[in-house]
């Protein structure tokens, strides 16, 4: 059998090893100068005023909600087609996620349905830039302003994305990023919040470390001084070792994005017109971050296709099955199939193909050929037409 093709392979190497080694020589391993440097450089890379580095995107979302005063009794409008963390963060803040269905052709929150879901309890909208395709943030900002709502972006997939000239964090109150093991830049586990609001950034920095008024870096700089705690915070501070691994990757963001984009274009070329397959549309005005390359397999064949490719050594992932149908959400919110038809249809059809800078053209060809063979092996799948346009 040919070499297995993993779903993801990170590109960390000599620059990260050297940065990690240097971080180990510093007196502070926890949140210190290396984190501060990463925050300045990450904020600059996003064109934002401030970045606050934390331990995960889940923590970033949770802290954003709390810092913006969202809690028990409040509702937050969000998408059911995402990783569970988008909603669990809302629940960890004590608020209630209110799902709105997604667009049939992009999988993103359907902005046209958002206003109908607003109630007197609604305090915020929390969209996800799914797969790296930004939501229509200009439309969402207008809705949020009309109703006095906060806007928090789940930008876990979208470091490099843009839409109509705006980047993540430009129109939202905050945008939250993930540096989880398979993300475009990674330190295994990590996250960040970007914002242009200096007061909010200061508050987020306090809340990420128990609400303490002084932290380890202050002690290192100023010597020990008594600290106070004025508000309840959490333990979400990124450490210098994580920041050290992330810093060299900032220099490769554009080059790696170009490589992933070329791979996505190659998949698109090879898969165009294959019956039984569709891919999400990229809306005009969008610069796609190309974090994931999903294909939508019709005719209930998705799981069989995953199994077929796995027997050929090709690993795939599902991002995501609609979360309102997971046991916990069904039980907690009494949701049933049919509640959000587009999210369910996409969630039952989607599979993500391998996509990372070191993926070679021959591997893209192997994945594409195996996929075409697996989809074509069932005549049924040729008969049904997907709602979304074909490639
Ligand atoms: C859309 C989305 N939101 C949130 C998260 C949570 O990120 P983290 O694992 O850094 O908490 C992820 C991670 O996979 C994600 O894909």
Residues 118-161: tens digit of each pLDDT: 999 999 999 999 999 999 999 999 999 999 999 999 999 999 99
In this prediction, residue 377 has a pLDDT band, given cuts at 50, 70 and 90, of confident
pLDDT at res. 378: 52
- 128: Cβ below 6 Å to ligand 1? yes
Known catalytic residues are: 183
Cα 156–244–41 angle (5° rounding)?
A: 60
- For residue 390, pLDDT beyond 50: no
CA separation for the pair 212, 69 (Å, rounded)? 18
pLDDT at res. 383: 38
Would strands 277-278 and 162-163 be described as parallel, antiparallel, or unpaired?
A: unpaired
Find residue 294's DSSP bridge partners. 352
- 57: Cβ below 6 Å to ligand 1? yes
Q: How far is the CA of 83 from the centre of ligand 1 (A)?
A: 6
**End-to-end alpha carbon distance in the chain:** 30
The pLDDT of 158-179, averaged and rounded, is: 98
Q: How far is the CA of 375 from the centre of ligand 1 (A)?
A: 29
In this prediction, residue 356 has a pLDDT band, given cuts at 50, 70 and 90, of very high
Q: How far is the CA of 59 from the centre of ligand 1 (A)?
A: 10
The pLDDT of 156-185, averaged and rounded, is: 98
CA separation for the pair 200, 150 (Å, rounded)? 13
- 85: Cβ below 6 Å to ligand 1? yes
- 56: Cβ below 6 Å to ligand 1? yes
- Which residue stretches of the chain are H helix? 14-24, 33-46, 57-67, 85-92, 137-147, 198-207, 216-222, 240-250, 253-271, 302-311, 327-333, 341-349, 361-376, 380-383
Q: How many other C-beta atoms can be found within 10 angstroms of the C-beta atom of residue 17?
A: 13
- 215: Cβ below 6 Å to ligand 1? no
CA separation for the pair 196, 204 (Å, rounded)? 12
Q: How far is the CA of 180 from the centre of ligand 1 (A)?
A: 7
- 78: Cβ below 6 Å to ligand 1? no
Structure tokens given for 375? 């989809």
- 177: Cβ below 6 Å to ligand 1? no
Q: How far is the CA of 156 from the centre of ligand 1 (A)?
A: 6
CA separation for the pair 126, 89 (Å, rounded)? 10
- 175: Cβ below 6 Å to ligand 1? no
- 83: Cβ below 6 Å to ligand 1? yes
For ligand 1, what atom is nearest to the CA of residue 182? 14
The pTM score is 0.96
Residue bearing the CA closest to ligand 1, atom 7: 57
CA nearest neighbour of 182 among 111, 237, 125, 132:
132
The pLDDT of 348-374, averaged and rounded, is: 98
Q: How far is the CA of 378 from the centre of ligand 1 (A)?
A: 34
- 153: Cβ below 6 Å to ligand 1? no
Mutational pocket test of ligand 1: of 156, 234, 294, 322, the residue with most ligand atoms within 8 Å of the beta carbon: 156
pLDDT at res. 1: 64
Residue bearing the CA closest to ligand 1, atom 14: 83
Mutational pocket test of ligand 1: of 80, 81, 85, the residue with most ligand atoms within 8 Å of the beta carbon: 85
CA separation for the pair 137, 114 (Å, rounded)? 12
For ligand 1, what atom is nearest to the CA of residue 179? 10
Cα–Cα distance list, 207 to 66, 155, 226, 234, 237 (Å)? 9, 20, 18, 6, 9
- For residue 380, pLDDT beyond 70: no
Asked if 127 and 149 touch (Cβ cutoff 8 Å), the reply is no
- For residue 262, pLDDT beyond 80: yes
**35 phi/psi in degrees, rounded to 5:** -65, -45
Q: How far is the CA of 60 from the centre of ligand 1 (A)?
A: 10
- For residue 386, pLDDT beyond 50: no
Structure tokens given for 45? 């890379």
User: H helices then E strands: how many in the chain?
Assistant: 14, 12
User: What mean pLDDT, rounded, does the chain reach?
Assistant: 95
Mutational pocket test of ligand 1: of 8, 58, 79, 161, the residue with most ligand atoms within 8 Å of the beta carbon: 58
């Amino acid at each position: 059998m040919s070499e297995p093709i993993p779903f993801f392979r990170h590109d960390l190497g000599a620059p990260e090893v050297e940065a990690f080694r240097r971080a180990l020589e510093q007196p502070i391993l926890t949140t210190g100068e290396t984190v501060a440097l990463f925050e300045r450089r990450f904020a600059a890379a996003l064109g934002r005023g401030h970045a606050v580095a934390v331990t995960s995107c889940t923590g970033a979302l949770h802290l954003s909600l709390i810092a913006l005063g969202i809690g028990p009794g409040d509702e937050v409008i969000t998408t059911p087609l995402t990783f569970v963390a988008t909603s669990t963060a809302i629940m960890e803040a004590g608020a209630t996620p209110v799902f709105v269905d997604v667009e049939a052709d992009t999988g993103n929150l359907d902005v046209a349905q958002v206003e109908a879901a607003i109630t007197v309890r609604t305090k915020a909208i929390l969209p996800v830039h799914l797969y790296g395709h930004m939501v229509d943030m200009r439309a969402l900002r207008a809705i949020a302003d009309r109703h006095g709502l906060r806007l928090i972006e789940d930008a876990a997939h979208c470091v490099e994305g843009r839409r109509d000239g705006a980047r993540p964090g430009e129109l939202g109150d905050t945008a939250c990023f993930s540096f989880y093991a398979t993300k475009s830049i990674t330190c295994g586990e990590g996250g960040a919040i970007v914002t242009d609001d200096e007061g909010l950034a200061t508050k987020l920095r306090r809340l990420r470390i128990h609400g303490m008024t002084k932290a380890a870096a202050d002690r290192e700089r100023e010597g020990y001084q008594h600290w106070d705690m004025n508000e309840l915070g959490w333990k979400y501070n990124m450490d210098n070792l994580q920041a050290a691994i992330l810093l060299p990757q900032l220099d490769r963001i554009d080059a790696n994005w170009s490589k992933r984009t070329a791979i996505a274009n190659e998949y698109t070329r090879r898969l165009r017109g294959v019956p039984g397959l569709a891919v999400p549309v990229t809306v005009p005005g969008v610069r796609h971050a190309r974090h994931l390359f999903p294909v939508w397999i019709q005719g209930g064949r998705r799981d069989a296709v995953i199994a077929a490719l796995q027997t050929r050594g090709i690993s795939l992932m599902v991002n995501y099955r609609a979360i309102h149908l997971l046991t916990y959400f069904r039980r907690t919110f009494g949701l049933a199939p049919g509640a959000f038809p587009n999210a369910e249809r996409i969630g039952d059809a989607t599979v993500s193909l391998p996509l990372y800078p070191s993926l070679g053209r021959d591997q893209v060809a192997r994945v594409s050929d195996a996929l075409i063979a697996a989809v074509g092996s069932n005549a049924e799948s040729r008969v049904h037409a997907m709602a979304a346009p074909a490639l």
